[in-house]
Amino acid sequence: MALDKVGIAKRIAQELRDGWYVNLGIGIPTLVANYIPEGIEVEFQSENGILGMGAFPFEGEEDADLINAGKQTITARKGASFFDSATSFAMIRGQHVQLTVLGAMEVSQNGDIANWKIPGKMVKGMGGAMDLVASAENIIVAMMHSNKAGESKILSKCTLPLTGVGCVKKVVTELAVLEIKDGKFHLIERAPGVSVEEIISKTEGELVIPNNVPEMVL
């Protein structure tokens, strides 16, 4: 059965390693923070200027001056720090953040990502996404395999304006975990109960299928 958003977040959380600083994008990526594997410690960076982002505040304890990049009210953990936007992107551009998780509208088999603009329709801006994808060594995309019209978003070539080129390393969808290597998608894992055939049929980009494709363990 295809994963829901929480399932995708749980699978991505398995990629976290002890001691990592992590930037989580808006949407599904934000949920990853709820499923940190036991026994490891990670620290969340939000590009609007906080390291050590904590849980949402209790009702009545919201502080308008303390938000994340999604403009949601948050709290700060012990040991947190605040800084300006230039310093925040110094962390990102300078590769001090070990993992970036973000959403996408399209990903291509050479690792290109499009997630900021639909010409003539949606022009909200790229926010910090272009800085993040251009700099991060380790980028995982959380996304749905297909759009609402049923068309694959896992493509040989992106059709939408790009956010970054050749930068995505891994994609986790409701159906599969794909690694991007040598200009191809490599099927690493499939969602519990999802067949390789379904993944093939919903993937437009070139897909490499190993002999054995294990099911995710969530």
59-88 binders of other proteins (CB under 8 A): 59-74, 76, 78-88
Among 123, 147, 192, 200, binds other proteins (CB under 8 A): 123
Count of residues engaged in binding other proteins, rule: CB under 8 A: 73
Q: How many CB atoms are located within 10 Å of the residue 143 CB?
A: 24
State which residue, 113 or 199, has the beta carbon closest to other proteins: 113
133 and 112 Cβ atoms separated by less than 8 Å: no
Asked about 204 being catalytic, the answer comes back as no
Q: How far is CA 177 from the centre of its chain?
A: 12
Q: How many CB atoms are located within 10 Å of the residue 191 CB?
A: 24
Asked if 135 touches other proteins (CB under 8 A), the answer is yes
Asked if 197 touches other proteins (CB under 8 A), the answer is no
Candidates 100-108, 161-169, 171-179, 185-193: pick the segment binding other proteins (CB under 8 A). Answer: 161-169
Candidates 8-16, 55-63, 188-196, 206-214: pick the segment binding other proteins (CB under 8 A). Answer: 55-63
Asked if 108 touches other proteins (CB under 8 A), the answer is no
Asked if 92 touches other proteins (CB under 8 A), the answer is yes
Burial of 152 by CB count in 10 Å (0-12 exposed, 13-18 middle, 19+ buried)?
middle
Neighbouring-strand partners of residue 33:
none
Give me the least distance between CB of 148 and other proteins, in Å please: 19
Q: How many CB atoms are located within 10 Å of the residue 71 CB?
A: 9
| 3-class state of residue 133 by DSSP | helix
State which residue, 77 or 213, has the beta carbon closest to other proteins: 77
81 and 52 Cβ atoms separated by less than 8 Å: yes
Q: Which of 15, 47, 106, 174 is catalytic?
A: 47
Among 7, 29, 164, 205, binds other proteins (CB under 8 A): 164
Asked if 179 touches other proteins (CB under 8 A), the answer is no
Q: Which of 190, 194, 193, 192 is nearest to 212 (CA)?
A: 190
Q: How far is CA 61 from the centre of its chain?
A: 29
Among 2, 14, 103, 126, binds other proteins (CB under 8 A): 126
* Residues noted as catalytic: 47
